[in-house]
Amino acid sequence: AQSVTQPDIHITVSEGASLELRCNYSYGATPYLFWYVQSPGQGLQLLLKYFSGDTLVQGIKGFEAEFKRSQSSFNLRKPSVHWSDAAEYFCAVGQPNAGGTSYGKLTFGQGTILTVHP
């Protein structure tokens, strides 16, 4: 069964500093990988996704993530954090069905809470 691990429960950075949030997955084939962000009291919003091709993917709000198959990782990065980036971030993995025609279910990590100091 697929699984996702986000090793850091809580990260604090200063505004303007760079950010890297870690995500490791366990899956036997090429995964579909996602990062979502959740602001307080809100639902989850898709930041970016990786399906195939270029292992460095760009997302919204200046975020990017790099898929590293050898490390089973899909870490999220941002070169300069803004106070508005304070939120909880979730990594997720999708598993294709036997025919590869659909990817119904996502498995989410436990989330990483990001605090941004002024």
Partner 1 sequence: DAGVIQSPRHEVTEMGQEVTLRCKPISGHDYLFWYRQTMMRGLELLIYFNNNVPIDDSGMPEDRFSAKMPNASFSTLKIQPSEPRDSAVYFCASSLIWQGAQNYGYTFGSGTRLTVV
Residues that bind partner 1 (CB under 8 A): 32, 34, 36, 41-46, 49, 51-52, 90, 94, 101-111
Quickly count: other Cβ atoms within 10 Å of residue 111's Cβ: 20
Which residue number, 19 or 113, has a Cβ lying nearer to partner 1?
Answer: 113
Q: How far is the CB of 60 from partner 1 (least distance, A)?
A: 12
Which residue number, 15 or 64, has a Cβ lying nearer to partner 1?
Answer: 64
- Return d(Cα 30, Cα 67) in angstroms, integer: 11
Which residue number, 28 or 43, has a Cβ lying nearer to partner 1?
Answer: 43
Q: How far is the CB of 40 from partner 1 (least distance, A)?
A: 11
What are the two backbone dihedrals, phi and then psi, of residue 112, each rounded to the nearest 5 degrees? -125, 125
Q: How far is the CB of 42 from partner 1 (least distance, A)?
A: 6
- Return d(Cα 16, Cα 66) in angstroms, integer: 21
Please enumerate in sequence order all residues whose Cβ is within 8 A of that of 61, keeping only pairs 6 or more positions apart, or say none. 37, 47, 78, 85
Q: How far is the CB of 93 from partner 1 (least distance, A)?
A: 12
- Return d(Cα 16, Cα 83) in angstroms, integer: 9
Which residue number, 2 or 73, has a Cβ lying nearer to partner 1?
Answer: 2
